[in-house]
């Protein structure tokens, strides 16, 4: 986790992560237009943490899919 004050995002649903990312992007754009760079930096850190969690979940899902496909192929190939 990037910031110890952030909640654990592994317990959130995918839809909640998407909603949170959308809200954070809106808040980032608002603070950017207002010229508040300190707030922009903090929001950018949280956005990166949410994106990382989404990436981690996608990577895990891909890994599980590949493992399942490899198990299916093991039964088809019979050398002997």
- Inter-axis angle of helices 37-76 and 14-34, nearest 10: 150
Residue 80 has pLDDT above 70, yes or no: no
Task: Tell me 6's DSSP state.
Answer: S
Contacts 24+ apart (CB under 8 A), 23-32: 24/50
Say which residue, 16 or 80, is predicted with more confidence.
16
* Confidence band, pLDDT 50/70/90 cuts, at residue 78: low
Does pTM top 0.95 for this prediction? no
Q: Tens digits of per-residue pLDDT, 13-65?
A: 999 999 999 999 999 999 999 999 999 999 999 999 999 999 999 999 999 98
pLDDT number for residue 77: 60
Say which residue, 17 or 1, is predicted with more confidence.
17
């Amino acid at each position: 986790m990037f910031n110890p004050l952030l909640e654990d995002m592994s317990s959130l649903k995918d839809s909640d992560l998407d909603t949170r990312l959308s809200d954070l992007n809106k808040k980032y754009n608002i603070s950017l237009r207002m010229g508040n760079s300190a707030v922009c930096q903090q929001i950018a850190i949280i956005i990166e943490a949410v994106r990382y969690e989404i990436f981690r979940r996608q990577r895990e899902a891909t890994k599980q899919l590949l493992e399942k496909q490899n198990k299916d192929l093991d039964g088809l190939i019979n050398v002997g």
